Chains A and B, each alone.
Chain A
Amino acid sequence: MSHDSRSELYQQVIIEHNKNPKNFRKIPSPTHEAEGYNPLCGDHLHIYLHVKEPGGVIEDVSFEGDGCAISKASASLMTASLKGKTRQETEVLFDQFHRLIKGELRPDKDPNVLGKLSVFSGIWHFPARVKCASLCWHTMKGALEKVKTVTTE
């Protein structure tokens, strides 16, 4: 069974976020930051977070970097969905997104809080591209855990 990337991967939402990414900027004094690198593609991202303690609420999150449309759109959508979330909520999202892109979570069947992020539900049909969508998430997680550099290999 073959899958058409034009209809299943490069949907309008992704094209839009690639063209006009949200939160594509630097946060002046972030509480957390990390660099993510995908040596296979050369994709390169920097994630910045401002987390307010106590409570651990993500007050602001942004990214900069260079990459394919999938990685850029994914980072844009991720930052948009993380704002105002607690660490715990972030972990739930991370876990659901991870299962989504591996094809283990079906957004139309399984309960989830993914919202717009479910636009990536078809990516598991393109195994070589899964890492493009997950790089920003791993980098964000690394930043929260105070890891400086994250690679996908």
Chain B
Amino acid sequence: MDLDIQRIRQDFPNLHVSVHGKPLVYFDNAATTFKPRVVLEAMDGYYQKYTSNVHRGVHELSEKATAAYEGARGKVQKFLNARDAKEIIFTRGTTESINLVAYSYGRHSLKPGDEVLISEMEHHSNIVPWQMLREEKGCVLKVIPFNDQGELIYSEFEKLLTAKTKLLSIVYISNSLGTINPVQKMIKAAHGRGALILVDAAQAVGHRRIDVQDLDCDFLAFSGHKLFGPTGVGVLYGKAGLLNKMPPFHGGGDMISSVTFEKTTYNTLPYKFEAGTPAVAEVIGLGAAIDYVLSIGFDRIEACEQGLLEYGTRALQKVPGLRLIGTAKEKVAVLSFILPGVHAHDIGTLVNDEGIAIRTGHHCTQPVMQHFGVPASSRASLSFYNTTAEIDRLVEALLKVREVFP
């Protein structure tokens, strides 16, 4: 069954603003997605009717807030098909989730010479924490290269994966290329070598169904704001057996079971990793976002977005000289491109005149830009609420850019 896009668009208030007197075209969904009204209402409901801290009070409002907060954890558990709700840890986002693993697992388990394997298409947030760990622990960082279509070179991965590999930390879907990596196969191979696997699912959660038991990853990280939820909340999924063995990340309230000046005993999962007052409203908002996405369903989301990808890939060819960056066989509706002779930032500013929001720059993936020998690219990243008519408007705007920079 097809999506009724016009009806769905009504769910997102932010789609209906105008920019430069023109209806907004929002093609920056890989940076952050818009939020449906149900998410805003869920957060508003908490602030208007039951504001209170969680896990602390016995009063009515605190119990209500705690139930909503823990209810959201249950929704995330089902969403990812995790075995247990205690395997779901709320963080500030993907970046914090990855740092948590680098700190609590990496810092305590890796030894000099141990290898962490990442890829050439990682977001900076899945590069820098490992470099920091390398500084401290003397471990080695290895990088799986990709080919000129933007696909990981699987044979290189197989070569780099050795008994020294302790952790494979890999992006599921690339934010700058749109490539969907064969993570399931990679996880199996890495487990075969005794390595653990962290999946950066920041760009995957809004586009593909994720089943952590089926994938069999050890850790998985994502951000609420790329899943039609609020900023300031994210998730780290981890297998309970591993999380139990890991020391806490931050110290403070909520993560303890008893404190004296001599000794503190830590709380159990997931609270051991949730120090301090969490982002209660945001967690509740994330729960609402998950309900919303599931009400549409990933089958329909995927079909709709593949249609947009095919249409967009063809339509952009109408712009003379335009070169797509990232042409993997398996990819989501991310259209990164360069126009020879025109810098991405000039493109970004000029299409903004037409009310179109695209991302320009290095997209926090400078090694990807280095691979293609460009300082920056322009990126249109689409979601199911975008339309082919909007793609036509981008093409028209790019033809106008060509007029300014003949």
Contact = CB atoms under 8 A, between A and B. Distances in A.
A42 B405 contact: no
Interface string B366-378: 1001000001100
Contacts of A18: 405
Nearest to B366: A42
B310 interface: no
Contacts of A4: 20, 353
Which of under 10, 10 to 19, 20 to 34, or 35 or more describes the interface residues of A?
A: 20 to 34
A40 B361 contact: yes
A5 interface: yes
Nearest to A132: B345
B349 interface: yes
Contacts of B20: 2, 4
Interface string A118-140: 00000000101100100000000
B404 interface: yes
Contacts of B267: none
Interface in B198-249: none
Contacts, number: 51
Interface in B364-398: 366, 369, 375-376
A69 to B, nearest CB: 5
Interface in A83-105: none
Contacts of B352: 5
Which of under 10, 10 to 19, 20 to 34, or 35 or more describes the interface residues of B?
A: 20 to 34
A70 B346 contact: yes
Interface in A40-86: 40-44, 66-70
Given A67-B343, A70-B346, A44 B404 contact: no
B189 interface: no
B346 A42 contact: no
A41 B404 contact: no
B345 to A, nearest CB: 4
B164 interface: no
Interface in B1-36: 19-21
Interface string A1-39: 010111001100001001000000000000000000000
Contacts of B269: none
B343 A69 contact: yes
B84 to A, nearest CB: 42
A70 B344 CA distance: 12
B346 A68 contact: yes
Interface in B38-73: none
B353 A5 contact: yes
A6 B350 contact: yes
Interface of A: 2, 4-6, 9-10, 15, 18, 40-44, 66-70, 126, 128-129, 132
23 contacts: A2-B19, A2-B20, A2-B21, A4-B353, A5-B349, A5-B353, A6-B350, A6-B400, A10-B350, A10-B404, A15-B405, A41-B376, A42-B362, A42-B366, A42-B375, A42-B376, A67-B343, A67-B375, A68-B343, A69-B346, A69-B405, A126-B349, A132-B345
